Amino acid sequence: MTDARRPRSPQSQDLSVRPDKKTRLGSASPARPGTPVKDEPNTKSGGKNSSRKKKQKQKHTLPEPYTAEFVVATDVANLLGQETVDAAVAEGSEWSSPFQHREELELTVSALSSSGDSLSVVPSKPWVIVTPLALPGEKIRVRVYRSARLYSYADLLDVITPNPEFRDMSRVQCKYFGKCAGCQYQMLSYEKQLDLKRDVVVKAYEHFSDLSPSSVPTVPITIGSPLQYGYRTKITPHFDAPPKKLQKSADKPLVTIENKPDWVKIGFNQIGTRQVMDIEDCPIATPTLNEALPPLRKNIIEHAFLQPSSDQAAASELMSSTNTGHTLEKHVCVTDHKATVRERVGDNTFEYIAGSFFQNNNSVLLPLTSYVRDAIFAHHPSGPTAPPRPTHLVDAYCGSGLFAITLARSFQKVAGIELSEDSIRCATRNAQLNDIPPDQCSFMSGDAANIFATVQDFPRDQTVLIIDPPRKGTDAKFIDQLLEFQGALVVYVSCNVHTQARDVGTILRKSEARGGRRYVMESLVGFDLFPQTAHVESVAVLRLV
């Protein structure tokens, strides 16, 4: 089941470039994150009860590195402090929650995690309660539902004393806010959201880059999205198959839009669960998508729930809209994931396949691509000893060519690479659509690291590399070739600032270790591609000096 509004699914990541981070979650533990840890029993077991006892042994699993839960676990460890974590590990109490399942508690929120969840240190023992939708300083009532290492997750039952400095419920524009897992921040002012996202970028580099503070530039306020609602150009409502007993029953239920039973739910995940909740409109999605939602829901009901063979696995329907920015151009909704979608970004037109990657907030793409252009040209050093101006661009992980094409007119030559063949076909077509000749701008499909072999004739001191990898970040193979290539400037755009921090830390340290010229981080800023949610995009600019 997918929900395009949640972070893309966690991916496993080789920790070899950040071996020290394993200790952050408890240095005395021999466990790697992501591996099950079995509790040792207190007494020796044997005889006929031993297999039952073995089954009773609890399995504890640390989160996969760089997933949302890994970030929460790191925030918890940092809130408690390394000494406290070490003491709990030495005592063997780090998995022993002081709370029963479904126990209700009253707490005061201590801090916010980078996931957007609140963190409350409990008074009785070094332990943290992780709760959605609560804010620092608020007194809250919660119900515990799952425990992990040094923390428990709890549902928010009530905000007993709100923090009036931050919370204003009259700002909330969605009737599902508080239940739907899509948004976390609708009760905050937009300025506060941008401020919190800056903190996420700062903390990511503090905890995941292993760089000294002096190597990390001051992070300015997050750059906002022109649209704060009605911006999302792609949503993925999903739904569960009918309950098993109904599927097996000879009398198939009559499901129509007018006669919709309670089990028919088409929408997004409910907070803290994998259950789908019924959603009739989504204020962060474009008006075009919201207009299309009722007929789409009717269509799903008539065609999915009436089919007796409905699969147990959840099905999903993809929707995306063209959002050209031209008021005279008609915006339409596309539900076929193989269909071609057209969008405008400034003066450029882009086509992409609905099911392939394209940034989901059209309103921020002109500011984002202009920021990258300014980072390359407006901030180019001046003076008699200044390096030559950039003339060549490499766009790695280029998708349908967003950066390559918006910036192509500023460069003599551009080369893009991307794993998806569909996206590369679109990137090539997009160059044509925007009158960029093929000898100026070329695209190839393949692993990003393959690009270096094809750009050996690019003048290194005039070449800029843009990298925009998926959430898991880039890899050692790419980083090693990037260091070998020595392009003048690297612009690293990322939808996961935690893997970006890890990768930038690796690039800076490895380039220093090589001797000679080295990369330094010139600027670092968050971009708000997803207002009302806790997600932040981040742009780091590295210059070879």
Ligand X SMILES: C[S@@+](CC[C@H](N)C(=O)[O-])C[C@H]1O[C@@H](n2cnc3c(N)ncnc32)[C@H](O)[C@@H]1O
Q: Please give the Cα distance from 335 to 338 (Å, whole number).
A: 9
Binders of ligand X among residues 494 to 523 (CB under 6 A) are 495
236: how many CB neighbours lie within 10 A of its CB?
17
Q: What residue is closest to ligand X based on CB? A: 399
Nearer residue to ligand X within complex by CB, 289 or 491? 491
Q: Binding to ligand X by residue 420, rule CB under 6 A?
A: yes
Site for ligand X in 355-374 (CB under 6 A): 357-359
- The answer to whether 419 contacts ligand X (rule: CB under 6 A) is yes
**CA-CA-CA-CA torsion for 206, 208, 211, 217, nearest 10 degrees?**
-50
C-alpha 421/C-alpha 439 separation (Å) is 20
495 is catalytic: yes
Under the binding rule (CB under 6 A), the answer on residue 418 touching ligand X is yes
Q: Does residue 151 interact with ligand X by CB under 6 A?
A: no
Least separation, in Å, of the C-beta of 359 and ligand X? 5
Residue 387, SS3 per DSSP: coil
Q: How, if at all, do strands 413-418 and 441-445 pair?
A: parallel
Alpha helix positions (H), 57-124: 68-80, 82-91
Of 399, 532, 404, whose CA–CA distance to 465 is shortest? Answer: 404
Q: Cβ 274 to ligand X, closest distance in Å?
A: 25
Q: Does 432 belong to an annotated binding site?
A: no
Whose Cβ is closer to ligand X: residue 436's or residue 495's?
A: 495
Q: Name beta bridge partners: 268.
A: 277
Q: Is 402 among the residues that bind ligand X (CB under 6 A)? A: yes
How close are the terminal C-alpha atoms of the chain, in Å? 47
In 227-286, alpha helices (H): 244-248
Catalytic residue among 174, 180, 183, 495: 495
Subset of residues 443 to 472 that bind ligand X, contact rule: CB under 6 A? 447-448, 468-470
* 468 known member of a binding site: yes
Under a CB-based contact definition with an 8 Å cutoff, are residues 283 and 215 in contact?
Answer: no
Stretch that binds ligand X, among 241-249, 253-261, 294-302, 392-400 (CB under 6 A): 392-400
Q: How far is the CB of 425 from ligand X (least distance, A)?
A: 13
Q: Is 134 in the site for ligand X (CB under 6 A)?
A: no
- From 51-59, 107-115, 256-264, 395-403, give the range in contact with ligand X by CB under 6 A: 395-403
Q: Is 138 annotated as a binding residue?
A: no
Quote the least distance from Cβ 163 to ligand X, whole Å. Answer: 34
d(CA 197, CA 526): 7
Residue 472 tokens read as 């898991």
CA distance 338 to 354: 6
Residues with catalytic annotation? Answer: 495
Q: Give the residues lining the site for ligand X (CB under 6 A).
A: 357-359, 397-400, 402-403, 417-420, 423, 447-448, 468-470, 495
- Binding site feature residues for S-adenosyl-L-methionine: 359, 397, 418, 468
